Amino acid sequence: CIPPLPSVVGLKSEDTHRDSLLPLLFPFTCRLCGIPLEDEDGSTAQICAKCTLDMLTKDSSGPNSPGERGDKVYTCSACPFLTHYPNHLARHMKTHSGEKPYKCPQCDYASAHFDNLKRHHRVHTGEKPYKCHLCDYACGNLANLKRHQRVHSGAKPFQCAVCSYSCNQSMNLKRHMLRGLLLCCQTNGLG
């Protein structure tokens, strides 16, 4: 039996209860844009699929270049996101506006970022550039290869904050946490 979670015990309002589930269901948020990571896509660096790790380390090529870190802090008017890079803020704002100018010519897929469209295109071409060096597994997405490699390494980076459960995929941890929350909620009359 999983012990009740301290943050859930004694909650009165259903809204408060629902809001308290979010960090448990999505324990990882992107370091650049702040959106919840729904799977372990980039979770080692905690970067979502819309953002890229090179955004953190981009060298500036001169004054006022988009990658140049300045003293000024740019903040999002819609959420707590902040950055020293104006191009990061512009990229982040697309998550709020819903703007998706990059459209797939073969299906209804659209994205706010060109890199996501390029990655999506592999669904249609069948291209699988990411290959496991230990078996014949190949895929079109680096995050999927990283997830697969944990099968070989035995790594279980996703740890339950309440008990000793650990697993190699964030979705398994979310399921585990939900089971524990449902049990806790039923015990405390919240579900």
If you count them, how many residues does the chain have? 191
Q: Is residue 139 included in any domain, yes or no?
A: yes
Number of domains in the chain: 3
In terms of residue numbers, what domain contains 184?
156-191
Contact call for residues 24 and 177 (beta carbons, < 8 A)? yes
Residues 46-86 pLDDT 10s: 566 666 545 544 433 433 444 555 677 888 888 888 888 88
Q: Is residue 19 included in any domain, yes or no?
A: no
Q: Is residue 81 included in any domain, yes or no?
A: yes
**Taking the model in full, what pTM does it have?**
0.50
Vertex 31, ends 25 and 33: CA angle to 5°?
A: 90
